[in-house]
Amino acid sequence: MTPAVLFVVITVALLPQAAAADDRTNLPLKNWGGFSLYRDAVYDDLERLVTAGLADRTLLNTKPLSRVEGARIVARAIERIRRDESGGLNTRRDLEPVLDRLMEEFKVELAGLGVRVPDSPPPPGVFSFTTVDRAQVYAGYANHLLSLVNEQGHSFRRGANGGLTFESRLQIRDFLTFYVQPELLANEDYVAARLATGYVKLTLWNIELLVGRDSIAWGPGYH
């Protein structure tokens, strides 16, 4: 995973756009909770669906994925299960909690794709703004300088360390996306604020143009 201060990424989507206001915010390569390493835990659940054969023609090598891309993988899995006339998938009880977590995570995006799930909300409108999607507080103590791996350039100074961060996202139709993750860092030497992640993404037809600061991983595995 390579953090970039400023970069422009152009990607060609493999699937046609839906008419709804799809949320194209990137699924972060940061652990916001759960037992995942170096990325959001939703990637682990998506990989479980793909390796189980429930999402055809899906590659998870290049990350991050957008929220609507993740929702499309879940939508394929739901369709595959509903069309399983032989009942062979009923033996995969291990996938039930995985699918439940993903349907809860992407319930708004699934509604925009026309997929009905339990407690399905209405499809997203023209404008969507999430003031604080997730927040995280951390604290620790180090007896020497310690650099963390794949953690957005974090390091622990000698002594007490702490921090606070949250993420906000805004979507206008399915062509303009804003995302920010500010962060407050504190230790015995200094207190500082920084923008850990922040970008603007413009989507036109099947082309995405992203300008800002984010992390990217090329190829399979953890980077």
Strand order in the sheet with 127-142: 2-12, 207-216, 191-204, 176-187, 159-172, 127-142
Give Cβ neighbours of residue 195 (< 8 Å, ≥ 6 apart): 180, 181, 182, 183, 213
Confidence (pLDDT) at 15: 37
Q: Are 95 and 54 in contact (CB under 8 A)?
A: yes
Cα of 220 vs its chain's centroid, Å: 16
Residue type at 215? S
Cα(201)–Cα(66) distance, integer angstroms: 11
- Report residue 187: phi and psi, to 5°: -150, -170
Note down pLDDT in tens along the chain; length 223 residues: 444 433 343 333 333 444 456 889 999 988 887 777 778 889 999 999 998 888 877 778 788 999 999 999 999 999 988 888 677 777 788 889 999 999 999 999 999 999 988 888 888 888 889 999 999 998 989 898 877 766 677 788 889 999 999 999 999 988 999 999 999 999 988 999 999 999 999 999 889 999 999 988 877 665 5
